[in-house]
Amino acid sequence: YLQVDRTERIKNSLNPKFAKKFLIDYYFELVQKLKFGIYDIDNKTFDLNDDDFLGEFECTLGQIVSSRTLTKPLVHKNGRPAGRGSITITAEEVKDNRVVVLEVEARKLDNKDFFGKSDPYLEFHKQTGDGNWVMVHRTEVIKNNLNPVWKPFKISLNSLCYSDMDKSIKVECYDYDSDGSHDLIGSFQTTMSKLKEASRSSPVEFECINEKKRQKKKNYKNSGIVSVKHCEIIVECTFLDYIMGGCQLNFTVGIDFTGSNGDPRSPDSLHYLSPNGVNEYLTAIWSVGLVIQDYDT
């Protein structure tokens, strides 16, 4: 197996929900084997050999696609059960290359810390067909700030709301705690249609509501205001978009025939005139040319 990507690291959690999404090309005619490995990382090194292995799961992409949501137990490398741990994988087809660009800030958030101020971050959730909420994006944490301004971020329109402008989107604001017990400051629901109304001259604002706090306090108003300063839908063109739009690729070859490459009669030379008519230069040109020829008119 070849490692292709990793999720973000979730600190101090036995039930992590990863926001990172993986894009995989799906081919119906191929058996595409996948392996998911779970590790407990307690250092900053990239190498996983010095981290604790918690379990893994092997399957095919076809199994995930046909199930849409697949939950299976984790196993050790020897195939034995890895405790009671399990993994849930959800798949969806990406059909839309539109991307939402958002700029968000907040003000007068509730202070959840005894010492200092809240360390707020936002989570964006979309609602699935069975009514459950799935997290699709998490902002960075702004330390010790009740009036945070988060960095602009992009998320695909399909990931955010299935490309449905009127589909409900839930936004939750949390106070980050290093022990993993993040405190909910408040939440609100909106739609892409509403978010699109935002502009820097006229931001769209939402009251951040904490239901438990509202039920306890008679004079409760809100737990802060979340302001969307900018919302724009852009199209991120793919390679095929350029090709189908008329972009052409031209294949030009330049070969260095200097004497430093050696005598072409010697098998050690890149220009060696092999009895079968093939040398390293010709092999490279042939390999690249077979790919480029369909795009060079």
- The better pLDDT of the pair 278, 138 is held by 138
104-113, 130-139, 203-212, 269-278: segment of lowest average pLDDT? 269-278
pLDDT at 134 over 80: yes
Q: What is the mean pLDDT of the chain?
A: 90
| Average pLDDT for 37-45 | 91
Q: What is the CATH code for 98-235? A: 2.60.40.150
**% of the chain exceeding 70 in pLDDT:** 99
Residues 63-113: tens digit of each pLDDT: 888 777 889 999 999 999 999 999 999 988 777 789 999 999 999 999 988
Residues 210-256: tens digit of each pLDDT: 999 999 998 999 999 999 999 999 988 877 677 767 777 788 888 77
Q: What is the pLDDT of residue 297?
A: 56
Q: What is the pLDDT of residue 244?
A: 64
Q: What is the 3-state secondary structure (H, E, C) of the chain?
A: CCCCCCCCCCCCCCCCCCCCCCCCCCCCCCCCEEEEEEEECCCCCCCHHHCEEEEEEEEEHHHHHHHCEEEEEEECCCCCEEEEEEEEEECCCCCCCEEEEEEEEEECCCCCCCCCCCCEEEEEEEECCCCCEEEEEECCCCCCCCCCECCCEEEEHHHHHCCCCCCCEEEEEEECCCCCCCEEEEEEEECHHHHCCCCCCCCEEEECECHHHHHHCCCCCCCCEEEEEEEEEEECCCHHHHHHCCCCCCCCCCCCCCHHHCCCCCCCCCCCCCCCCCCHHHHHHHHHHHHHHHHCC
| Average pLDDT for 272-279 | 81
Note the pTM of the prediction, 2 decimals: 0.68
pLDDT grade for 120, boundaries at 50, 70 and 90: very high
| Average pLDDT for 158-162 | 93
Look at strands 183-190 and 169-175 and give their pairing: antiparallel
- The better pLDDT of the pair 279, 174 is held by 174
| Average pLDDT for 157-164 | 93
pLDDT at 268 over 60: yes
- The better pLDDT of the pair 66, 126 is held by 126
Q: What is the pLDDT of residue 67?
A: 77
The domain locations on the chain are 1-91, 98-235, 246-295
List the one residue out of 206, 202, 124, 203 whose CA is nearest residue 157: 124
